[in-house]
């Protein structure tokens, strides 16, 4: 006898229920998650060690006169370009290039002072020391270009305003440009064995500058060092693709950059190091659709 399979109701066991659709997962593609930005700002203040030293032929040093205190350094502008990508809705990575035109880190006036220089006397023995009355101008200017790779976290507030924090590392390319002009006149001398020379006369030691001398010139030095920064700010959505960014950045530069030039004192060295800069940056970021 054939099996009785019953009707459709016997087989179905009830009404079929629809299967829920999967929750959409955000995707990030190269056409919609990139942005570019233009920034303007300024170095509001900086903490740095700036030293000026006169160094004689023996390598002995004495304080110079042209170093500027870091509290007297002027504010200077910043021009920046950023290029980045959103890795998630809240996390983005960017490359930031900032340029600061040159500003002066030395005193900007002609100074008059007395300096000494010494050398062995190969005729009578002992050490000759000449004293020079010096009139000198020394202009030292510094510019920098920084390149940082930053990782930035945007804090979603559900409004058009988005606070953010971040940090990164990279390089600082500093350029030191120096121009100097010095006139020196010997005003007296002493020998470590025979004592002072006649008043108004100098040692005549050929290893020392002449009784009257003029030294002038210029030099430029470029140097690349490591740099790091932390940032915080607030971004404002003007449209879906245009963002107004206002932020603070603290920039640290590794290492020292120095300049050594001739002087009647033997040589003069200015060193700029241990720089930490407080910066304000404002500009527009434009997303790519």
What pTM does this model have? 0.82
Burial annotation 70-100 (CB, 10 A radius, 16+ → b, else e): beebeebebebebebbbeeeeebebebebeb
Cα distances from 169 to residues 94, 151, 201, in angstroms, run 11, 9, 58
In a domain, 20, yes or no: no
The confidence score (pLDDT) of residue 154 equals 97
| pLDDT score recorded for residue 21 | 52
Confirm whether 233 is domain-assigned: yes
Domain membership of residue 5 (yes or no) is: no
The pLDDT score that the predictor gives to residue 32 is: 61
**Amino acid 124: pLDDT:** 87
Q: Tell me the C-alpha distance between 263 and 214, whole Å.
A: 9
249 and 276 Cβ atoms separated by less than 8 Å: no
Give me the domain span that covers residue 243.
28-287
- Residue 71: the pLDDT is 87
**Distance of alpha carbon 138 from alpha carbon 136, whole angstroms:** 6
Mean pLDDT, the chain cut into blocks of 10 residues (289 residues total): 49 55 46 87 94 91 89 93 95 97 91 93 92 95 98 96 98 97 95 91 92 95 97 96 96 96 94 96 91
Residue 109 sits in a domain whose CATH number is 2.40.160.20
Asked whether residue 16 is assigned to any structural domain, the reply reads no
Asked, for residue 130, whether it belongs to a domain, the answer is: yes
Could you give the number of structural domains in the chain? 1
Q: Is residue 17 part of a domain?
A: no
Q: What does DSSP assign to residue 72?
A: G
Strand 76-86 to strand 61-63: parallel, antiparallel, or no bridges (unpaired)? unpaired
Beta-bridged to residue 111, according to DSSP, are: 136
Structure tokens at 43: 């170095």
- Give the per-residue pLDDT at 101: 97
* Residue closest to 80 by CA, chosen among 50, 49, 25, 36: 36
In a domain, 125, yes or no: yes
How far is the CA of 170 from the CAs of 84, 116, 149, 166, 225, in angstroms?
15, 43, 6, 14, 9
């Amino acid at each position: 006898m054939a099996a009785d399979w019953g009707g459709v109701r016997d087989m179905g066991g009830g009404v079929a229920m629809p299967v829920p659709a999967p929750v959409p997962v955000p995707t990030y593609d190269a056409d919609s998650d990139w942005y570019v930005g233009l920034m303007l700002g300024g170095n509001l203040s900086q903490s740095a060690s700036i030293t000026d030293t006169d160094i004689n032929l023996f390598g002995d040093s004495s304080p110079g006169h042209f170093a500027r205190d870091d509290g007297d350094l002027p504010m200077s502008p910043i021009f920046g370009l950023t290029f980045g990508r959103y890795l998630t809705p809240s996390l983005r990575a960017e490359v930031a290039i900032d340029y600061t035109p040159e500003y002066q880190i030395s005193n900007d006036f002609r100074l008059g002072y007395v300096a000494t220089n010494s050398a062995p006397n190969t005729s009578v023995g002992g050490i000759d020391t000449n004293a020079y009355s010096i009139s000198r101008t020394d202009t030292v200017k510094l510019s920098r270009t920084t390149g940082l790779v930053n990782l930035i976290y945007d804090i979603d507030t559900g409004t058009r305003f988005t606070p953010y924090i971040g940090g990164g590392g990279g390089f600082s390319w500093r350029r030191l440009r120096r121009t100097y002009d010095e006139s020196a006149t010997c005003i007296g001398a002493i020998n470590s064995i025979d004592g002072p020379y006649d008043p108004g006369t100098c040692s005549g030691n050929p290893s020392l500058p002449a009784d009257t001398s003029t030294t002038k010139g210029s030099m430029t030095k470029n140097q690349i060092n490591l740099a790091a920064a932390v940032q915080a700010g607030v971004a404002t959505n003007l449209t879906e693709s245009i963002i107004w960014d206002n932020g603070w950045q603290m920039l640290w530069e590794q290492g020292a950059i120095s300049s050594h030039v001739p002087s009647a004192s033997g040589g003069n060295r200015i060193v700029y190091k241990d720089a930490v800069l407080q910066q304000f940056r404002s500009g527009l970021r434009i997303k790519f659709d």
